[in-house]
Structures are given as structure tokens and as C-alpha cells.
Amino acid sequence: MAAREYAFDTVAEAYDGQFTRTRIGAAMRAAVWARCAARFRPGFRILEMNCGTGEDARWLASQGMQVLATDISPRMIEVAQRKLSGLAENHAVQFQMLAWEQLGQLQAAPFDGMLSNFGGLNCVADLTGAAGNLASRLRPGAVAMLCIMGPRVPWEWLWFLAHGRPDAAFRRLRRSREWSGITVRYPSITATVKAFAAHFRLLRVGAIGALLPPPYTEACLGRYPRLLNA
């Protein structure tokens, strides 16, 4: 897990610049928050895996929920704690270093709901094992929100093809790639549902990444808020 810790440590300070303080990043978060608002209630205890810089934890806390926000990266957690310091939501959020593979060891259970945003599960090799560990940490009937980067992303195809980079355009179709010393996988919806089927019942699938362009296109496409809103 050291490679993953280091990989995400290196991007912690710049993370919000792409995934929070951009129109595209904000639109993606808003789509996830809308689903959270539909399923979670004030007073719920929420487990957040791969919390990153704490933006989702802050929103959940602002809605009256108690949050245990976990991440494998100490730098991400440091940035998140700094962000929430002094805010009213700070008292409702606890942080803990935790990898998906360590979830079965988590003592602070059970939880009323769970959120994993922005592809944390893409760095996990054993989705079936992750599903079993997660189920053991949740109350019966609890909802898990899992945002996973899938293999089919039309915006990415168009973007890289327009820039003359066909290999980059279809890189996810190979189902895995190396990034900063770690393997990033792109499971299909079918494969993900199958991996979780023994413990979870599918409620809804939404294709955020198919409808919104990737955050790295912000410099170009972020200039068209009407397009993003549509």
C-alpha cells in the first residue's frame, strides 16, 4: 500500500484545483450529492472511503450527518483536516487513515450509509473482498454510494482523438493501466454489480462520466457553463 499512499500524497495539495474548484469538478460533485441527499438523512452515521481532501465529508456534515472520513493518504487527510478546521462542520467529521483492504478491521461500526467518490475503488484489486468487508460495516438496509471510473467514457474518446492521441483515448478499454507506480483498473458496471451481488442489491446506476467531460478538460470546456449545465 506504500505506493498508493505516495501516489496520492503527491497530488494532495493540487487535488482541489481540479476536482473541487472547477466547474466540471463541482458539477460532478453536485450530481453525487443529489443522490446522497435522496438516500441519506440528517443524523445518519456515514462511512466515507477514500475521502481525499474532505470536500464530500464537509457537505455531508453540513446536511446534519456524522462522518468517519477515511483515506490511505496521510497528506490527503492533512489537507482535509486543515480545510475543515474552524468550520461548523468540523465537529461532525472524524478522520482516519484506512485502506479498502483494511476495512474489515474497522471498529467504529455499524454505519447508516457509505460513500466512495472519485474512483477510490479503481485502485482495489479484489472488489468481491471489498464488498464483503463493506457489508460487515453497514447496518442492514444501508445504502452504499460507489462512484467508479468505468471503461467507456465518450468525452475522453472525443477529447484525445481531437488531440491526435488514440492510445490515450481508448486506454480504459484495456481495463487497467499503471499510474505513479500503482495499477488503476476500470471495471464495467456489470463486473462491479457481480462483485457486490452477494451482499448488496443494486438500486440505481448513473453515468456521470459519460455525460460530463473529465475535469482535465476544464481549461477548454469549463468556459461553457451552459453546456455543462445541459
Closest CA to 200 of 123, 121, 89: 121
User: Please, which pLDDT band fits residue 113 given cuts at 50, 70 and 90?
Assistant: very high
When mean pLDDT is compared across 98-102, 116-120, 161-165, 220-224, the lowest value belongs to 220-224
Q: pLDDT digit string (tens) for 167-208?
A: 999 999 988 988 888 899 999 999 999 999 999 999 999 988
Residues belonging to the chain: 230
With cut-offs at 50, 70 and 90, classify the pLDDT of residue 69: very high
CA–CA dist 220, 216 (Å, integer): 9
pLDDT on residue 114 = 98
- With bands split at pLDDT 50, 70 and 90, how would you rate the model's confidence at 229? confident
As a whole number of angstroms, the distance between CA 76 and CA 148 comes to 19
Contacts by 77-80, CB closer than 8 A, 24 or more apart = 77/51, 78/12, 79/12, 79/13, 79/15, 79/16, 79/53, 79/54, 80/51, 80/52, 80/53, 80/54
At 212 the pLDDT is: 86
Evaluate whether 14 touches 73 at the Cβ level (below 8 Å): no
Assess whether pLDDT exceeds 90 at residue 132.
Answer: yes
SS3 109: coil
Residue partners of 147: CB distance under 8 A and separation at least 6: 32, 116, 117, 118, 119, 208
Residue 1's pLDDT band (boundaries 50, 70, 90)?
A: low
Q: Quick one: residue 150, left, alpha or beta (phi over 0 = left, psi -120 to 50 = alpha)? A: beta
Assess contact for 16 and 76: CB atoms under 8 A.
no
Q: For position 4, what pLDDT does the model report? A: 74
pLDDT at 101 over 90: yes
Instruction: List pLDDT tens digits, range 71-83.
Output: 999 999 999 999 9
Distance CA 213, CA 222 (A): 9
Assess whether pLDDT exceeds 80 at residue 146.
yes
Span 109-115, average pLDDT: 95
- What pLDDT was estimated at residue 76? 97
The position carrying cell 471503461 is 151
CA angle 205, 56, 25 (to 5 degrees): 70
HSE-CB for 219 with a 13 A CA cutoff: 2
Q: Return the pLDDT at 134.
A: 97
State residue 144's pLDDT score: 98
Averaged pLDDT, 39-44: 98
Task: Output the pLDDT for position 3.
Answer: 67
pLDDT at residue 80, as a whole number: 97
Confidence class for position 218, pLDDT limits 50, 70, 90: very high
